[in-house]
Structure formats: structure tokens, C-alpha cells
Amino acid sequence: MAGGGAIPVSVIVMTRNEADNIAACLAGLGDFAQVFVVDSASTDGTAELAAQIGAEVVPFRWDGRYPKKKQWCLDRLPFRHDWVLYVDADERVTPALAAEIAALIAAGPGHAGYFIESRMVFLGRRLRFGQRNCKLALIDRRRGGFRDCPDLDVAAMWEVEGHYQPVLDGTAGRLKAWMWHEDTKPPFAWFERHNRYSDWEAALRRDGRLARLARDESPGRRRLKGLVARLPARPLLMFLHSYLFRLGLLDGAAGFHYALARAFYYWQIDLKLYGLYASSKAGAADSPPSALISSNARRRTPCSPIR
């Protein structure tokens, strides 16, 4: 049963056609007092499955403007609690993470938000090594939110905020336990999703918008991202970082393919950046607009403050 537990935290799971993942995701959320599934007109029965399991299902239809889905949730959902945990449908909250969050809330959080590590399940194997992701997923909704980002001109942008962290009125901590990232959809879904992500990142990196978003992050994360962006032969180095430096080779074939997939993602970004720069040098008057940029999108001003 999703929701109705003792942990006074409201969980948000955002979905669109996640029938393959939603049951496993909600199975780990039974200890939380309130669980929302905010669904974008799924056609595969996601919303019905979530309702049967006990989640509060809220329909969402994006109007093409800001706020996008994460901030819309903070603005519109009928929360019973101040602390909010964002969980993707392909993420699994472990018992250790639920217990750590329960103890944190009971003791009184010392920060406005907390980073949570996400560990990969790739080709059916739980990876023990390799690169891991970390995101600011647990926040005090009274002291955090997502900035509007001027990305509505990006042809492949979508209804959910891009890969940037929420802004906090206060400090951020980090939890010790983690989630598993386990997408049970076929590899096609992974490539389709990362093709869209790389379009977004290339378009925003080209004219400095991504760098402006990074100003909201800690100096350490900002310096690291700046360094990675300037690396020569970046795809190869990302492969070596995950497979050798982070010991992904110890995860066997799954570790190799995951490191290769990460390298391919960075190769996509760099290739698309090269295409954007080449198109720009050719001159806007003589060249068609890039496929990454929509010429008729509504333009927005630089990132606005939290509402």
C-alpha cells in the first residue's frame, strides 16, 4: 500500500506511461504518510495501477509554459507535510533510505534539503561500482523550489525541468543510504530519453545558459562541472573514469556497457554542440535553424527567482 505510513513526508512520483515501473516504485513507499503520483495522461494504465496500489493520483497536463512539472507539484498539490521527496518511477527507495529519512525527520533536519545517491541497475545487474548520480531529492518545500529556465526554444525540451537542482533557502546535506535506479523498459527507452537530454544540454551549453544555472550550486559542484565540460576527448575520459577509475570493470559486462553508455551520452552532447557551432559560423541568414532549436517557441527571460 503506497502512503498511509508513519514517516511525515509527502512523496511525489511523476509519471507518463510508466506501467512497467510504477508497481515496483510504489512498493518501497509504504512507510511514507502521503504518496502522490502526478500523471501526464498515460495511455498504458499507469494511473489506474497507481490508484489500485493506494497512491493519490493527480492528473497533469502541461500548458507549454512555466512552471514545469516539478515546481507545479510544489505549487498545486494538497500537501499534508512540509518535507517532500521526489522519486522517479524507475527509482526504488531502499528500506535503509526510508529508515534514515524517518530518523532525520524525527530528530529535526539541520538543512533545507538533502542529496540522495542513485545507484544503477543496468542489464538486470545491480552495479556495485562505476559512476553514480546524486540529486537533491528531499527538500523542505517552504525553503526550496525550481527556477524557471529559458529553455522553451529547445525543440526537444519537455514538461519536466531539465538536469538542474532545486534552489534552497538554506544549506544542503547528504544522506548515507541510496535509491536504486532500475528502469525495466527496453534499452530503446534509455536511448530515446538520453537523446532528448543531450539535445537540451547542448542547446543550453552553447550560449551559456547551463553555466548560469550552475551558479545556484555549491562551488565544488560548479567547479567540477566546469572542468568536465572543458575536457578534451571527453567521451573517452568519461568511459575511463567509470570503467577504470571507479572500478566499473568489476561489474562485468554490465559495468562495461554502462560505462560505454555514459561515454555515448557525452559524445552526443559534444557532437550536437559541434553542429550548433558550425551552423552559427555558417551564418543564420544562409543556414536553416538547428534541429535542436524551435524557431516558433515562446521565448523566456533568464532564470527567474523562486516564486
* Of residues 15 and 154, more confidently modeled: 15
Q: Is the pLDDT of residue 9 over 70?
A: yes
Mean pLDDT for the chain overall: 88
Which whole number is the average pLDDT over 99-119?
98
Q: Is the pLDDT of residue 269 over 80?
A: yes
Place of cell 511525489: 12
Task: Please give the torsion angle defined by the CA atoms of residues 145, 54, 42 and 292, in that order, rounded to the nearest 10 degrees.
Answer: 20
The angle that helices 187-206 and 252-282 make with each other, rounded to 10 degrees, is 40
pTM comes to 0.87
* Of residues 148 and 46, more confidently modeled: 46
Which whole number is the average pLDDT over 151-163?
87
pLDDT confidence bin for 282, thresholds 50/70/90: low
Distances (CA, A) of 78 to 38, 49, 82, 166: 12, 21, 11, 20
For residue 140, the model assigns a pLDDT of 98
- CA dihedral for 60, 61, 63, 65, sign (positive or negative): positive
Q: Is the pLDDT of residue 63 over 50?
A: yes
For residue 155, the model assigns a pLDDT of 81
Domain 7-185: give its CATH architecture: Alpha-Beta Complex (3.90)
* Of residues 28 and 231, more confidently modeled: 28
Question: Of 39, 79, 71, 69, whose CA–CA distance to 57 is shortest?
Answer: 39
For residue 286, the model assigns a pLDDT of 44
Q: Is the pLDDT of residue 289 over 90?
A: no
Q: What are phi and psi of 120, to 5 degrees?
A: -80, 145
pLDDT confidence bin for 188, thresholds 50/70/90: very high
Q: Is the pLDDT of residue 307 over 70?
A: no
Domain locations in the chain as residue ranges: 7-185
For residue 207, the model assigns a pLDDT of 86
